[in-house]
Amino acid sequence: MNLPFVVDIAIGLVFMYLILSLLASEIQELITTLLQWRAEHLKNSIEIMLASGQVSPNAKEIKSLTDKLYHHPLISSLNQEAKGRLALGFRKFANFFISLYYRLTGSENPFKNDSSGPSYIPAEAFATTLIDTFKLKEIGQAVTLARLEDFKQQQIKDILKTLKAIELSDSARSIVTQELESVEQDWQGIINDFGTRRVNLPKSLDRMNQRLEIFVSNCQNYIEQPETYLNAFIYRVQHLQDKNYSETERSVLIQSLKPSMNEVVEMIQNKPKMYSELQRAIEDKNSPSHQGISDVIESLPELPAPVKHSLAALGTRIQSQKESIEDEVSELQLQIESWFDASMTRSSGVYKRNARGIAVLIGIIVAVATNADSLYITESLSKNSVLRAAITENAGQFVARDSQPTSADFKKLSQEVKESLDEASLPLGWRANLVTEQALENKGWPLPYLKRLVGWAISGLAISMGASFWYDLLGKVVNVRNSGSRSSSRS
């Protein structure tokens, strides 16, 4: 048995596997599309991610949350279906096939009343959807606004307390009171601007500080009072100002007014705590934070414990607390995106393993359906020189291409292979003469059907390797044969 003979047999086997792999790949792609395995696997993976990869007692809450995320416009818009009569007709057939599949298997459609779901979700879209679903930015803004209003009221009380402690004349007290009322009105305007998001928290505090400086200046200019008492009053007010607005205290003030992401997450799960934090804003209809805050709280879905723990862990990754709630939410979004990407990477590995198992099953079914017995085909190739020559010629034509075909070109290649199959007369199928000859070859085995089963199993595993693998290997084997032929010619 010389090397060219062995190479020709190898080319025949590889060529056969290429043909059947093309068929199996198309079958698997059709089943994957009809049953939406990618979309279903993606949704299941998101549920597993939200449940922290464990069997959670909050399974119903996790499933409900996932459904809510899928109905968010950012994700639902990713599920784009083709338009046109032909496409709609195919979709109706697919929907009927899917519903029949779920009825027969007794399983539940993961997309409920929707006919399909997205098979890919960008990390940015998921992170934005999760943040928007739990209204993290809105809740954080509302809590900051409520605390800012309390801070304003506390400053007014402190100044009035100082005014009461200093012996000023009635006229001086009247001036201070009028100025303080003006300050309160201006501060309320600043808070309203913050509530409508015209300015952020640091800028709002700067404006409040500037208005307080004007108050101090006006008191110094307009109050006619013995210098000792006036200076004492001004000194105490400036002390209150420095305690809140000085450069060293400013960051502390900002962090006391702005809740951390972990605080916001805790409030979302513990709604009584949130109501306690926002109680005055909710009850005060004149409060700028009153508008819509009750509706926002009521619209919040339940926050399952695993999701809370995950968000809390992501919140602790933020290197330093930001000065505005918007910056902190943006930082949290980046953390959620990284979390999602890492989870989907693991999910992709699981999907590939599952797809590999399905490919093996389809490969065995195709091998049995086409009677592709690798052992018998090898024997046929070793005995039939005409068959070997025909296959080698066809294989050489395929690998003579300038480049390997892409996945889009494989359909065209499949048709060419089918035409070549008739010319090469491969020992495939259930033709009577082929089955008879196959039975004669198996007589030497103690269990004749065992040989055929082994041959089918080998073919099934080989088919599951995929058309790309066998196309590459075919090119390499043909090149080896051609190199050997050229060497022989030169000799």
Tens digits of residue pLDDT in 338-388? 999 999 999 999 999 999 999 999 999 999 999 999 999 998 888 888 888
Please, what is the angle between helix 170-195 and helix 136-165, to 10°?
Answer: 180
Report domain extents, the chain: 3-26+357-490, 29-122, 167-256
CA atoms within 13 A on the CB side of 456: 17
Buried b (16+ CB within 10 A) or exposed e, 380-389: bbbeeeebbe
SS3 286: coil
Token match 């109501």: residue?
275
**Separation between Cα atoms, residue 128 and residue 125, nearest integer Å:** 5
Tens digits of residue pLDDT in 250-272? 889 998 999 888 888 888 888 77
Q: Is the pLDDT of residue 24 over 50?
A: yes
Evaluate if pTM is beyond 0.85: no
Buried b (16+ CB within 10 A) or exposed e, 232-267: bbbebbeebbeebbeeeebeebbeebbbbbbbbbbb
**Separation between Cα atoms, residue 315 and residue 308, nearest integer Å:** 10
Banded pLDDT at 284 (limits 50, 70, 90): low
Closest CA to 288 of 194, 362, 216: 194
Q: Tell me what the pLDDT averaged over the chain comes to.
A: 83
Tens digits of residue pLDDT in 48-107? 999 987 766 678 889 999 999 999 999 988 876 655 566 566 666 666 767 776 677 766
Please, what is the angle between helix 123-133 and helix 136-165, to 10°?
Answer: 50
pLDDT exceeding 90 applies to what percent of the chain? 34
**Separation between Cα atoms, residue 110 and residue 112, nearest integer Å:** 6
- Burial of residue 149, with CB atoms counted within 10 A of its CB: 0-12 exposed, 13-18 middle, 19 or more buried: buried
